Structure 1
Amino acid sequence: MHEITILVELIKMVETAAIENNIAEIDTIVVQIGEMSSIIPRYMMEYFPNTAEGTLLENSKLKIEMIPANGLCHHCNKVFNIVKNKGKCPCCKADDWEILSGMEFILKEIVIREQV
């Protein structure tokens, strides 16, 4: 359950940016998670409220966008989704590929709550 550790560090990073920029309230943080990363999005969503409790992000939302696991086939140079194709190139059926995307964890956006 390394998701809690990741959330703690993410919250610290966002809080630091908020303080440095005099931001009082954050509405949403948007993260991107690679389809083949070891991070489980469901756990991130489940643990976020408790991890954010008592921080500047206590009333914030977490939005997750998935990055597809794309690979480049070394035999036919086709780019394909590794997960959907179970590690085999759909064109030539080779399993000799290079991963292009899908392992990432990116803080994409911090959405500030509008002051009324």
Structure 2
Amino acid sequence: MHELGILNAMIHTIEDTLASEEGVAGVAEIVVEVGELSGIVPRYLEECWPAARYKTSMEETNLILEIIPGLVECRGCGTIYNAVAEDFHCPVCGEKDSEMISGNDLLIKEIRVIDTE
């Protein structure tokens, strides 16, 4: 389970980024996009979040996950489809040869901070 390590790195990156920002009292929420084809299990991120944020400046921070569909384009017929939903088989021609379009990233989309004011 590499999700705990990913979360730890994410917390350190956010803490380092916000350390130089004036007027920030903390982080209320983090919105993270997780691609279906990223190899990261969203449920594991959610389960590891309490341990990852324990005794950090983000102990009260909420984690919001947005799942990005794993879209691919069939190289045989050009159909764009969700690879996970179709078990990597083109629903039109049945081929498995495809090119990834989206859904293999992990991205911190938004950091919602708490102002000191």
Query: How does the TM-score come out when normalised to structure 1?
Result: 0.92
- Deviating beyond 4 angstroms after TM superposition, the runs of 4 or more aligned structure 1 residues are none
How many residues are matched?
116
After TM superposition, list the pairs within 5 Å mapping 1:13-28 onto structure 2.
Answer: 13-22=13-22, 23-28=24-29
Q: Hey, which of these two has a bigger chunk of strand by percent?
A: 2
Which residue is 1:57 aligned to?
Answer: 58
Task: Let me know the Cα RMSD of the aligned residues.
Answer: 1.3
Unmatched runs of 5 consecutive residues or more in structure 2: none
Partner of 2:108, secondary structure, is: strand
Unmatched runs of 5 consecutive residues or more in structure 1: none
Which residue is 2:8 aligned to?
Answer: 8
Q: Residue 19 of structure 2 aligns to which amino acid in structure 1?
A: I
After TM superposition, list the pairs within 5 Å mapping 1:93-112 onto structure 2.
Answer: 93-112=94-113
Separation in 2, partners of 1:47, 1:83? 24
Residue range with higher mean Cα deviation, 68-77 or 47-56: 47-56
Do structure 1's residue 88 and structure 2's residue 92 form an aligned pair? no
